[in-house]
Amino acid sequence: MHRDEGRDLPTGGMAAVPDGENAADLGQGKTGILCVPDEVKSIDGFGGVVPVSGIGPRRGRQQATRFVETDGLGGEAGGLGEDADLHWARLGLDLPPRWNPYGQRVLLTVLSVPGCPNTNLLVGRVRTALGTRPADLEVVVINEEDGARRWGMTGSPTLLVGGVDPFPAAGLEPSVSCRLYRSADSSLWGVPSVAELEAVFVPRPGAPAREGRVVDIAGRGGRGRLAPVEGGLRAVQRATLRAMADTGVPPCPAEVDRVAEPFGRSGTDVLRALAFEDFLTLDQVGHLRAVYPFSIPPTRHLVRIEDGPQVWAMCAIDALGIPGMIDRAVTIDTTDPITAQPITVCIPRDGVRAVSAGPVVFVGRRGRDGPAEQTCCEVINFFSSRHSAARWAALNVDAGGEILELDVAAELGQVIFGGLLK
């Protein structure tokens, strides 16, 4: 999935629709149906699905086509290209800040198959229902069943608010298909009515306050990642970190014993003490699994160190903390857990630079006790956009947290890990 070069679209009217009779229907404020339905599947509740002939899973490179917005329902047609795989357009809208637990602007995501005319009608009705209230709306075009499953598209178009479908219905399954919505009088339509959308956008009570700060989530509950000097803990921690940064592998047991010896302890004893305090983790036989920010087994986050080895980071914040800790430039290669889109972040000595468009970082933790490896490392990830991050958060309700811009996340990594080898 590739952002359209970060270009914001105009804010008036609605998105363009394909030429043809469906576009004419939209100009009259009516819903169109994509292709000819094979069979209407009746489902109890608010929605339904119409399987569509000729649309199914497609393979190939993900490609974006520009999504053009016009000034009105009857504007000239632009396109959701037939060759598009995943694509989004960003529109300036608004909702009260308390509506969105992941930032100052609520996240609205419209999921669509390529060329679906009802997508444009839904965008227009969302705009009408919102009025002048601001939000961040993204249109994601999906033409593969796997993408529908990951995003939760139960037919096209599907609206997500903060990653959650506000119109769920029993029996709906993710699919590349057309979606029908059941109105109050039991009639079926291609999109919800303006009144139904207005009910979704009624301001809700504020989200409960988060416990603690994000720096506490990734930094041992505010206690920091620098081990104490006493008992040789800091000496062994730093020796292990330097070995990982210089060679990509942990020091051998004999080297750990040598570093621990002046403190009257064995290397094994010091490693166990460090693991007990969550400065590192050990496997069942006492072998090193991780010394934060480094992981011994492969993870989602590959870090290529300038003039050095390739290493794995425990999480996104750990990856962002490595360059400040070792004072070397790095390149981070990772993927979005929702879209599977590759993300590359370069951190030269003079700052942070994203090669991929607009990545963000979700920082949170599971609601249970335990070391960071078990409670937050698999939660803290890079995402290609706030919308995919919000979708992941909606699927992982036990992982409370927030979405950070890349520069803020990089600063957090520096705060946690920057001083470990200084």
Q: What pLDDT, in 10s, does the model give residues 108-136?
A: 999 999 999 899 999 999 999 988 778 88
Q: Are 391 and 341 in contact (CB under 8 A)?
A: no
Q: What pLDDT, in 10s, does the model give residues 380-391?
A: 999 999 999 999
What's the per-residue H, E or C state across the chain?
CCCCCCCCCCCCCCECCCCCHHHHHHHCCCCCCCCCECCCECCCCCEEEECECCCCCCCCCCCCCCCCECCCCCCCCCCCCCCCCCCCCEEEEECCHHHCCCCCCCEEEEEECCCCHHHHHHHHHHHHHHCCCEEEEEEEECCCHHHHHHHCCEEECEEEECCECCCCCCCCCCEEEEEEEECCCCCEECCCCHHHHHHHCCCCCCCCCCCCCHHHHHCHHHCCCCCCCHHHHHHHHHHHHHHHHHHCCCCCHHHHHHHHHHHCCCHHHHHHHHHHCCCEEECCCCCEEEECCEECCCCCEEEEECCCCEEEECCHHHHHHHHHHHCCCEEEEEECCCCCCEEEEEECCCCCEECCCCCEEEEEEECCCCCHHHHCCCCCEEECCHHHHHHHHHHCCCEEEEEEEHHHHHHHHHHHHCCCCC
Please state, in angstroms and rounded to a whole number, the distance separating the CA atoms of residues 411 and 18: 45
Given pLDDT bands bounded at 50, 70 and 90, which one contains residue 22? very low
| pLDDT given for residue 355 in this prediction | 64
10-20: average pLDDT: 30
Q: Which of 110, 18, 9, 113 is nearest to 69 (CA)?
A: 9
Kindly provide the b/e burial profile for residues 191-209, where b requires at least 16 CB atoms within 10 angstroms of the residue's own CB.
bbeeebbeebbeeeeeeee
Q: What pLDDT, in 10s, does the model give residues 24-34?
A: 333 333 333 33
| pLDDT given for residue 398 in this prediction | 85
Q: Is 401 exposed, middle or buried (0-12, 13-18, 19+ CB in 10 A)?
A: buried
Q: Are 260 and 240 in contact (CB under 8 A)?
A: no
pTM of the shown model:
0.72
- What tokens does 106 get? 């609520």
Q: What pLDDT, in 10s, does the model give residues 320-372?
A: 999 999 999 999 999 999 999 999 999 987 666 666 667 999 999 887 778 88
Strands 107-112 and 135-141: parallel
Helix axes 253-260 and 233-247, enclosed angle (nearest 10): 140
